[in-house]
Chains A and B, each alone.
Chain A
């Protein structure tokens, strides 16, 4: 009687451990991006994502990661748009720290942010951000870029 029970307990512990370990959470680290229906930049987008959104990792292929969103949508995102969240599902004790981790800073939108830029601008009235603001507004839409690549026989776009 004893041996089978011990074996069962061990098996259950192993299975639960594997199941918990399998759920890896990623965090979107770019301002905005799209969840795509295939591991490529062009083609239909399934959902819009923003910085801080959490995604469940399902798999990966050629620099792309297959993920599930909070709303349950499954799609693909380029690996450069996400960071690994060190968030663990199990609650464990945490020693008191005096400095923040990159993940915490990213999630809270703090660190060098708009408030620091405003403070810096106030000290440096000689600097103009007019062209910086214009520059970041220059956008080549996905369809235009796809057309540019196609006409230039680039990127394997047919």
Chain B
């Protein structure tokens, strides 16, 4: 009888020793890996990526790549519209935009969210990938309170969070780009690869700008962004019904100022009012409009020339 008990005790002792050794080994390996973070290019080739797959779709575009795509898309938008230079108002728009971005599903983005005002009476808002967002002077004039501006900016943050801009890139373009990148973990490209990659980059930018400025997103993306605006706006503490009030001002508006931007690239406001209303009803108790916010909006908007 005593022999099996001794064996079990020995086995248990062995188990404890092995577990400790295994734990130490894992911690050591983990620490080694954590410590190698700075040595990027060198590390990459030795890192095992058994569960990883090669890049194939827009979802595989990295944060840094999205940022660089966004920068060039922003440059193309800024080639079409001049910037409205009003530092105080620009800072206010950035504060409202960053507030709703903070309560979005994607508060952290490669280089942060940034907002600029475009000097045009067209009523429009545009979001480049990577969190570079534009609103027009014409659109700011349409806003009567901070809630409305916040919900519109939340709609644009929604496009960024859902990566709608990146989805506009043609699949063949991505396949080419991913292929030119190859598997070698080098940080600088040879001239031939760089030329091919630049062509693919150029094509991707044109796909996005065509969608943003000329054709507009498909209805499903616009409805999704409205839903996200309601969600992010209410989460921040803004009254979500502001988006419905804004859309109502657009119903039947065929003035040149409105028609050029918004109407060309967005589904009819009637459809959106319906859907946004349902999203708001589904929220349950929603935040209410706030006098302190409206007051600071009115003060900031008064500087609009």
Contacts and interface: CB of A to CB of B under 8 A. Distances in A.
Contacts of A103: 47, 49, 52
B34 A54 contact: yes
Contacts of A143: none
Interface residues of A, number: 84
Nearest to A156: B237
Interface of A: 1, 4-5, 7-8, 11-12, 15-16, 19-20, 22-23, 25, 29-31, 33, 41, 51-56, 68-70, 78, 80-81, 86-92, 94, 97-117, 119-120, 123, 126-129, 131-132, 135-136, 138-140, 144-145, 148-149, 151-156
Given A41-B107, A136-B132, A155-B102, A110 B181 contact: yes
B114 interface: yes
Contact of A88 (B8, B34, B50, B61): B50
A155 B236 contact: yes
A154 B99 contact: yes
A145 B49 contact: no
A41 to B, nearest CB: 6
A6 B290 CA distance: 70
Contacts of A138: 90-91, 94, 114-116
Contacts of B44: 104, 107-108
B41 interface: yes
A98 to B, nearest CB: 6
A18 B10 CA distance: 22
A152 B146 contact: yes
Contact of B79 (A20, A102, A127): A127
Given A89-B26, A120-B201, A145 B112 contact: no
Contacts of B248: none
A15 B54 contact: no
Contacts of A111: 61-62, 64-65, 177, 181
Interface stretch (B15-23, B211-219, B272-280): B15-23
